[in-house]
Amino acid sequence: MSTAAIAADGRGSSIPDPEYRDLLASVTEWVEGPGEEWADRIETGGTVPDALWKELREAGFLSLAAPAELGGRGLSFVQWMGLMEVFSRSHASVRMIVHVVNGTWRAMNPHADEVQRRKFVLPSVAGDLVVAFTLTEPGNGTGADITSSVRRVGDTYYLTGRKHLITFGVRCDYWLLFARLEGTSGSAGTVALLVDRHAPGVEVEDTSQTMGVRGTDHASLAFRDTPVPVADRLGAEGDGLSIALGGFLTPSRISVAMSCVGLAQRAQQLAVDHALERTTFGKPLAARQAIAFALAENAADIEAARALTLHAASAWQDGVPDAGSLSSMAKLTAVDMLTRVTDKALQVHGGIGYWKTAPIERVYRDARAQRFEEGTNEIQKTVIARGILRQAQGPRADAAPADPSAASAARL
């Protein structure tokens, strides 16, 4: 299988509409049935059991977004967003698993040689290999100011540095890790490495005690002269940051935006059900104008964010030049929408919604996490503003990085 024969990012794939509708119904049935049972188990135990990973893998839910040539289902990106919308109504850890596993291959595949494709990409798409995206560091931002470094001795890099907030960094098989050549600065000296989870010279600290998204493991990592074969480097020396922020970040931001839409839909559903069932002073809550207006505002908010997210998804799928700016607009809009919707949904529940026995309590906690995924609101605003100003300047625009994640602004 040659590199040229593979659609690197899957944008040319799609499945027939009847097949897609059947798949959408199957995912919805799982989310509303077994998915709810898994949610209770995750919240009770605080971890995602291996059996859930196995169930998701065997159902084919971990290989939906990749092209058929890589062993995936071959969905278009817009089709995949329709499924993400449904998955996101489930427990946040379920959403996180399908989001990450169905996206990490996008960073690897365009830069992998045939050996790397067989060793890393195909097993990742199949769900047999968990690859954790490993960029963020504790002492600086998430881009050109990374300080984790490697020195090369023959056919081996020796890695030294720290990473933190790494999703699935404990249970993964490899870290897709971004560092820089010793003595370099800026983006020119960065490298993308696939680092074996069990390589020597690594300390892994489980930092999974979070406000929400319970069960999704997160790690803090320390490397001291950890050996990494040069053969496990993606792309060339100097390509690291472009691999991290190129074909991965834009679709991932759109996916996070759609996850906000799905979770908001779940919050709205819980609020509507409660408003219809709860009676005060002889009338259901839904009959009270203040409650009805809150539900109406939520519905409009959700639809607006959904429309913008699908617009961004179509733009990225079609290769539209401003897809990056649209992805940031979608994420900015969707996370703010989710904050408003979940707050009103909790208010509709009254005091009972504050107890852990109420499903809205978990939804409310989980909603806060999306504000940090793939860049804060401040990052998104900077991306959008740069796009606006670059377009206004036309040919006079300089070559400033399109995404502030590639500069010190990432520490916001």
Catalytically active residues are 374
What is the residue type of 275? A
Residue 196 neighbours by CB under 8 Å, 6+ apart: 173, 174, 228
Cα separation, 21 vs 23, whole angstroms = 5
Beta bridge mates, 193 = 177, 233
CB 304 within 8 A of CB 336: no
Residue 256 neighbours by CB under 8 Å, 6+ apart: 99, 331, 334, 335, 370, 373, 374
Residue 372 neighbours by CB under 8 Å, 6+ apart: none
What 3-state class would DSSP assign to 93? helix
Q: Which DSSP string corresponds to 242-289?
A: HHHHSTTHHHHHHHHHHHHHHHHHHHHHHHHHHHHH-EETTEEGGGSH
CB 96 within 8 A of CB 252: no
CB 196 within 8 A of CB 159: no
Strands (E), 75-217: 131-134, 149-153, 156-167, 174-181, 190-196, 202-206
Strands (E), 76-217: 131-134, 149-153, 156-167, 174-181, 190-196, 202-206
Cα separation, 312 vs 252, whole angstroms = 11
Cα separation, 372 vs 136, whole angstroms = 12
What phi, psi does 151 have (nearest 5°)? -120, 140
What 3-state class would DSSP assign to 392? helix
